[in-house]
Amino acid sequence: MIAIRTATPDDAGLIFGFVRDLARHEDAEDKLVATEALLRRALEERGVEAAIAEQDGQAVGTALFFHKHSTWSGWNGLYLEDLYVAPEARGSGAGRALLAHVAAVGVARGCTRVEWAVSDTNAAAAGFYRSLGAEPMPWRIYRVSGEALSRLAGE
């Protein structure tokens, strides 16, 4: 049976381990520059929230999310930053339970949507999300960071 609990800052080490596993899974471990300490601070400051999936008392996955606002709809939503389930627990319902938890948090807070990004190369995840009723949106994500961010900020 899968149980979902709200994470606390004391779970930062556990969650960061899952984040590291996700980076490995995405073949992007070299891009992971965050640290457990930064994650702990974000959890303490409520910049991000997290849920943990447990199976038979063992942590098997996590979802990290934060608030966002849509100026077009005028309503708040939640953005799912990461969803990760350990390989041995995939197919157990942990991912679905984590997303249901995030959805329930959003509904309880008056949010009208939960959104997230998925890699174009992750067909399994896209199929899973569609099975939940999620639809791909016709938008592309852009990012400015590093030197480009500093230059832009200096204008």
pLDDT digits (tens, 9 = 90+) for 24-75: 988 899 999 999 999 999 999 999 999 999 999 999 999 999 999 999 888 9
Q: Could you list the active site residues?
A: 129
For the entire predicted model, the pTM comes to 0.90
Tell me 87's DSSP state.
Answer: G
The range of the structural domain enclosing residue 111 comes to 2-153
pLDDT tens for 63-88 read: 999 999 999 888 999 999 999 999 99
Torsion angles phi and psi, residue 86, rounded to 5: -60, 145
Phi/psi class of residue 79: alpha, beta or left (left: φ > 0; alpha: ψ in -120 to 50)? beta
CA distance 131 to 128: 5
pLDDT tens for 88-111 read: 999 999 999 999 999 999 999 999
> How far is C-alpha 85 from the geometric centre of its chain's CA atoms?
11
Instruction: Count up the domains in the chain and report the number.
Output: 1
Q: Quick one: tokens of 98?
A: 């984590």
Give the confidence band of 122 by pLDDT, cuts at 50, 70, 90.
confident
Q: Residue 61 maps to which CATH number?
A: 3.40.630.30
Other CB atoms within 10 A of residue 134 CB: 15
